[in-house]
Structure 1
């Protein structure tokens, strides 16, 4: 009966879901950013994640019912992408949520109505599962919905019970499955048979709270959390064999296939897998970059870089040479722009970063090919030098560690390594490779692939009985506050004594908590016989956590201060520190505005750090700034400072702020109302930080450096306000010391340094000439020591402390003078490391099959090193100089055997 299913596009499926629940009084909310605000994960990995503070009771629900289509990224099963029908890194989770409003019966009834009436799935093709002890859900499905009891499966806790973590809200699940083969009958239904069944809708009934002993008590307010996989429903309604061949992904695959000159319908499974990986990963990277993620070697930036490299690598596997990713990305952008307009708005930036990463990685792949060649040479050398102590099998294969390094660092697929190794008569330790792969998967899961709500521990538990901290620091620098909680080493306590490192939560505070790149305030909390030095303030789940230490108020140990819950204290921030931070923070706003005017209007913030003594501003740019641009930016910021622009601070709806042209940090999550900082039209940004009242308060601004920190991301470090005096004091001290040392005026230091550099360069050239002449003289004296082996001359010698360049020149000269010959020279220059050089004539190479690069690399290993080079001339090095004599003896012995 599959023919009766209505065809719906992915966009229609999404739209019908949201409109259906809107008709049920749910508010449609936009997808949250892929950059998760939750401290336990680095990417948004589930549709419920943006609502976690509401489920925990830390925030009040803005409305009782909500529905979303949430972008998600998961990479814990990345190796299954393309190999199974339904594994993805990027996917959309359609969800409907109730925050203490409706519960099981309505959630089940609406899920059934949506599935059978809106999507028109035949009821006889739907099988449901419930938690084994959830008789209530079972009865609703059987009696209210009318599903036969034998098509309702009771499953255990592992399959059908959902928990947020070791503690917290939890509850049973009910899942809806679509049956692709109802003709197989209802006997012995196995929902794990994914060739027959696909789970498409999961209903979580959040009705209990679990404590540390796994005791579960009913929640006062029960919640509903559901998830329907957009890609899975598309597979069902579009009647295709897997998610990849739906209209959500297949156009991307088709574009990649056309570039490679491949007919997807006729391709083998290996090729199809690579095309599916490209289709999936390109969706991921386009959305990640659009949400403000930049490729790097850490965190979410590393995930982005890894996905881009997998796209490039699989492109190579199907025969695509050179850059291609932007052509495929264009298709992904076109598919997504109607639901996510920001994708098209950020098109140029997305493509610039993709092109930069792809070009950089193609060069990396070339380096990987060179590394593989070195590994093969090394293995071949060991095999040639094998002895009874080595096993033959280990000598004929590339280690799993090397294969994984090629895969993980250079993007070399295992299959490609195996193919090249086979051509050289070698194998690859696949088991060792899998061990390394398993380690990496474990690291990936540990770092970001689970929702762990116990990480904040005591802080989360406090949400049950105290309110989030009220911040008064925009207008007050000192205030009276009540201590709501005391923590020592992360655990709540009632009291703490003098000398203790503590964390405090107050009912209200003037202390700014670290956020948006601005560091937390410093200062003091004081009371009767009590003084607490505050060194940092962090924000955790709505609470301002003050980090500090109890000190004796009078400085005497007899004044033993004690702090306890309920105490009233005077909270006083360090005003001088706050003023410095404010100056630097406002300077970052002016800096961004200046970069947009001088460099490119598309410049956007990628990160920042605002401290007392400096500021750091990271921004997206495909190129470095010219020295003239840096000067212009600095000059413009100082002009705005001198013009004394007043700060206008307003709270307004986010849509109004955007309409006025306020700049938002891409990827940052904002509420319905935002705080806007406007400096008289010079700069207008959404920002929760503290700022000067007038730009003139900054005083001055100085750029210290402009550098690249990752592909497509630049960094400016600068100082502003009082910090400039500290900076100038250090610079002035250095200039004075140089003036005294060179006995010149400060303004003549630069010229003196240039003259000294010129003199040094000339002296170095003279020294090089002398060294070369000495090397020639020394080498010519060795000609008489050459031995005759058959038709060849052989010379192995230690040249003492000769440097590498001279040693290579000597080896090349001696070989040429000796004619058909093999020359091996060694030296230990100052520093203690061994240098080895081999120079072989063409006849040695062709007739005796000896190559200088392979040969000298093997000899260098005796000295704990390695190296290589061309067949006729090569250089290697070693760390253990005590083994040099043994290495030279081995070289001579092997060459006598090889030349005989």
Structure 2
């Protein structure tokens, strides 16, 4: 079905576009929720299209109605959206004509089984369906704005849409067609006619370029064409359900409705989980990571509900087995599922193991709560109980709600929120250091002191008045020299740590007063200057001068602007979809974490570094402006995913290079950075990479350290710096040669020692056996000796042992073909002997090696080997 759709539109001039990641470029959306999302910048006019027509099969995730999964015929979290798109090319008539042709001729749907809907005011679409396509007017339904008018948000491109429904019961006739009746109708193809732009007042004006955005649900098509009662029983999902049922020894066809719901949840969620992890999402307690964690936990819980753990064993982890089916189902279209197989199963193992422990504790406590409620006739779980389950047992609120709903109970959410707020207050009260406790004091002082005015974008020094002095987070009347203090001023040039940029350093000074400021933190609207009084005393009301360390500020500005350039270079050279996952901008270095599905090659890093330095040398001037968030996004400004922004935002723009939302401090021209150097690149999580680098004055520190190392190496090797690589290579080669010679000598020594053992061989029937220890011989030499001895014995078996290092045992077994025919295999034999010495091993039937950790048991192991050989050959 997927391929038929794509081929149909490819034959009509559409470019087939691969599915985008579930992690969208759009920072306003957690996950890719629709087929049009990757094209949103084009629809918004932010990016010019590379082609006028496109078609795709886009993987999507929606969890807004997760409670309906498994309970209705067609609610899913993960689904594929087939789509065809026109960017200012064809419009309504062509889109409708092709859709009808595809549905009736391509997929063979009888016209009498189809119903279409149009927006109630869209006479044009109605006329096309009736007059051009020939649909019976009784089977064309006009619907209101909620059903048939698509919007991208409060403002922006929008337009009417037309939907195609499949009728499972056409015999009921055309008189009372109710498209809300999902037992009869299923909507499977939606055609959106983006022809208007909506402004802030809600006014609609025609777009210069009219666009087409369609979506056909692949799983819904599968339900219809495969003639199954719901999406879950199609070949897109049912193999996963079948596997889960078999693991629980359940006959799906005979299962009760609750069991079927659980199996459907497992089938749906496991597809979502596999694709999320493949696209670099990791389970966590925030954002999309929390959505993933919740999906995994729902799978685990439903596996428990239907007894899979009872059948498989309580300690068996079942999710990796179920995931294997999801991977196999999707790998032909999404090969990264198989590439990332180990990551998928590894994440599932960790999450399942951790959540099973949580479930055991939480469910036991919840059962106690429910028992008390049943005895007293209560119908609502108290907010305090729900909070205790969460806070003490790690039991998620939504899981408490889900279990309660299954028993016809409610949870007091308002009281739960009160408990959460109270816990937050208790946490504040319990904090002991200034950056953690000051908020409690500020809450009490907020009415008495004014918020801090920040002047640091334009001023490096300013006169200021002390609003409050705190010691260990508590307000004091006065503080003297030698005291660690936290000071809040009415105004400040000091930047407070935020957005990854550390706080400024500097001094507060007055008449016979000097306070060294080591850090600045922000609590609400207050800037907290953290430092130590060098001389004098300070109290509220004092007038002083606040002066930042300009050298430190220049360093951090260079590193911060370099971070912006680095992101721009990564998006340009490595992957346009790269987005920031975190950062640190310090005085001496910068760190940039970003979402990327692969490691960067040395060539990638070299190109990125060159590009950043090129932009620096080109001396691009920066422009800072304040604008609305919507305006900034419309202009293409990059926002950090997950960051909360106010309606008015600060935009830093280096035209043609980088445009980002940022409240940090920056150079005014890229030339001020001087230079940029990447220090390292590494992976820090699934799908998340980290680059550490230096820029500006910090590069000199970096180079000085490296220069000192090179000088020391030059002195040691008596070579010029440029000669060091060749000198080291020569030494490495010499070392390898010496090691080979040593290994050869060890082998000769082992052979010499082993030759003396031939006379110790014993005859057992038609065979000769030799079991012996050769002192202080490494494993490779021991193996050589065993093979040589067996050659001399011919039909027989050799078992040798050695202790090359303290508490390290080496064992080897060499068996002739005649011994193998008696049923003895060297691999299995030596593995069993090694266990006596606290180890293990194995190998081929004729030659195998093993090791152990307990040398004191070696005599016992050799005695056992001898007895076993005699018994096996006697």
Would you say 1:456 and 2:438 are equivalent positions? Answer: no
Q: Are 2:505 and 1:522 equivalent residues in the alignment?
A: yes
Structure 2 residue aligned with 1:317:
322
Query: What does residue 586 of structure 2 align with?
Result: 611
Q: 1:789·1:896 contact (CA, 8 Å) conserved in 2?
A: yes
Shift of 1:578: 1.4
Q: CA deviation at 1:634?
A: 1.6
Q: Which of 791, 795, 803 does residue 778 from structure 2 map onto?
A: 803
- Deviation of 1:673 after TM superposition, in Å, equals 1.5
Question: Residue 278 of structure 1 contacts residue 315 of structure 1 at CA under 8 Å; is this kept in 2?
Answer: no
Change (3 A) 1:253 1:807: farther
Taking structure 1 as reference, are residues 885 and 750 closer, same or farther at Cα in structure 2, changes over 3 Å only? Answer: same
Once residues 820 and 593 of structure 2 are traced to their aligned partners in structure 1, the CA distance between those partners, rounded to angstroms, is 54
1:477 aligns with 2:460: yes
Q: Which one of 520, 536, 553 corresponds to residue 519 of structure 2?
A: 536
- Please give the alpha-carbon distance, in whole angstroms, between the structure 2 residues aligned to 1:688 and 1:656: 17
Following TM superposition, by how much is the alpha carbon of 1:267 offset from its aligned partner in structure 2, in angstroms? 7.2
- Aligned match for 1:778, one of 714, 729, 753: 753
Q: 2:730 — aligned with what? A: 755
Q: Is the 8 A contact 1:82 1:274 kept in 2?
A: no
Measured against aligned partners, the alpha-carbon deviations of 1:217-249 in whole angstroms (never above 9, x if no partner) come to xxxxxxxxxxxxxxxxxxxxxxxxxxxxxxxxx
Distance change (3 Å), C-alpha of 1:474 and 1:309? same
| TM superposition shift of 1:276 | 0.9
Check whether the contact 2:470–2:485 (CA below 8 A) recurs between aligned residues.
yes
Question: SS of the residue aligned with 1:664?
Answer: coil
Q: Match of 1:769?
A: 744
Residue 631 of structure 2 is aligned to residue 656 of structure 1: yes
The equivalent position to 1:877 in structure 2, one of 842, 851, 871, is 851
Residues in 1 aligned to 2:359 and 2:747: alpha-carbon distance in whole angstroms: 47
Indicate which of 270, 273, 277 corresponds to 2:266: 277
Q: Which has the higher contact order (CA 8 A, sep 6+)?
A: 1
Match of 2:719 among 732, 738, 744: 744
| Residue pair 1:839, 1:852 contacting (<8 A) in 2 also | yes
Question: In structure 2, what is the equivalent of residue 392 of structure 1?
Answer: none
How far apart are 1:720 and its partner, in Å?
0.8
What SS does structure 1 have at the residue aligned with 2:520? strand
Mapping of residues 487-498 of structure 1, within 5 Å: 487-490=470-473, 496-498=479-481
Shift of 1:846: 7.1
Distance in 2 of aligned mates of 1:701 and 1:256: 50
Question: 2: CA distance between counterparts of 1:877 and 1:834?
Answer: 5
2:534 pairs with 1:552: yes
**Pairwise CA distance, 1:582:** 0.7
Structure 1 residues 533, 501: CA separation in 2 closer, same or farther (over 3 Å shift)?
same
Residues 528/807 of structure 1: CA separation in 2 closer, same or farther (3 Å cut): farther
For residues 548-589 of structure 1, the C-alpha deviation after alignment (integer angstroms, 9 at most, x for no partner) is 3x3432xxxxxxx55555555533322211111110110111
Which residue of the partner structure matches residue 666 of structure 1? 641
Residue 590 of structure 1 deviates from its aligned partner by 0.9
Q: In structure 2, what is the equivalent of residue 257 of structure 1?
A: 237
For the residue of structure 2 that corresponds to 1:453, the secondary structure is: helix
**2:800 paired residue number:** 825
How far is 1:596 from its partner?
2.0
CA distance in 2, matches of 1:297, 1:518: 24
- What is the deviation of 1:660? 1.1
Cα deviation digits, residues 598-643 of structure 1 (max 9, x gap): 2222222222221112112222222333333322222221111112
Deviation at 1:698, TM superposition (A): 0.3
Shift of 1:805: 2.5
Q: 1:71 to 1:32 in 2, by over 3 A?
A: farther
Does structure 1 retain, via aligned residues, the 8 Å contact 2:269–2:295? Answer: no
Q: Could you give the per-residue CA deviations for residues 98-126 of structure 1, whole angstroms, max 9, x where no partner exists?
A: xxxxxxxxxxxxxxxxxxxxxxxxxxxxx
Do 1:34 and 1:71's aligned partners in 2 also have CA atoms closer than 8 Å?
Answer: no
- Deviations 1:148-190 (Å, cap 9, x if unpaired)? xxxxxxxxxxxxxxxxxxxxxxxxxxxxxxxxxxxxxxxxxxx
Quick check: 2:466–2:543 contact (8 Å CA) kept in 1?
yes
Deviation by residue 1:449-495 (Cα, 9 ceiling, x = unmatched):
58441333341463354155443322222334444555555556555
SS at match of 1:552: strand
Where does structure 1 lack aligned partners over 5 or more consecutive residues? 1-29, 36-69, 75-79, 92-249, 331-350, 366-406, 415-429, 554-560
Does the aligned pair in 2 maintain the 1:309–1:361 contact within 8 Å? Answer: no
2:416 maps to which residue? none
Aligned ranges for residues 396-475 of structure 1 at < 5 Å? 408-409=349-350, 451=420, 452-454=423-425, 455-457=427-429, 458=437, 459-460=439-440, 462-466=442-446, 468-475=451-458
- C-alpha contact (below 8 Å) 1:589/1:683 kept by paired residues: yes
Pairing 1:626–2:596 present: no
CA–CA distance in 1 between the matches of 2:336 and 2:463?
50
The count of aligned residue pairs is 582
Superposition pairs of residues 231-242 of structure 1, within 5 angstroms? none
Give the SS at the match of 2:804. coil
Counterpart of 1:123? none
Residue aligning to 2:809: 834
**Uncovered stretches (5+) of structure 2, i.e. residues with no partner:** 1-25, 32-61, 79-229, 246-251, 300-316, 366-387, 398-419, 430-436
Equivalent residue, structure 2, for 1:157: none
Return the offset for 1:707.
2.9
What is the SS of the residue equivalent to 2:736? helix
* Aligned partner of 1:706 among 681, 693, 707: 681
TM-score, scaled to structure 1: 0.55
Map of 1:732 onto structure 2: 707
Corresponding residue to 2:253 among 262, 266, 277: 266
Instruction: Check 1:625–1:760 CA distance in 2 against 1; reply closer, same or farther (3 A cut).
Output: same
1:716 aligned residue: 691
Counterpart CA distance in 2 for 1:705 and 1:714 is: 11
1:836–1:305 distance in 2 versus 1, CA, 3 Å: farther
Structure 2 residue 498 is matched with structure 1 residue 512 = no
Secondary structure at the counterpart of residue 463 of structure 1? helix
Q: Is the 8 A contact 1:274 1:314 kept in 2?
A: no
What is the alpha-carbon distance in structure 1 between the residues aligned to residue 285 and residue 792 of structure 2? 54
* Aligned-residue offset at 1:650: 0.6
1:165-176 correspondence to structure 2 within 5 Å: none
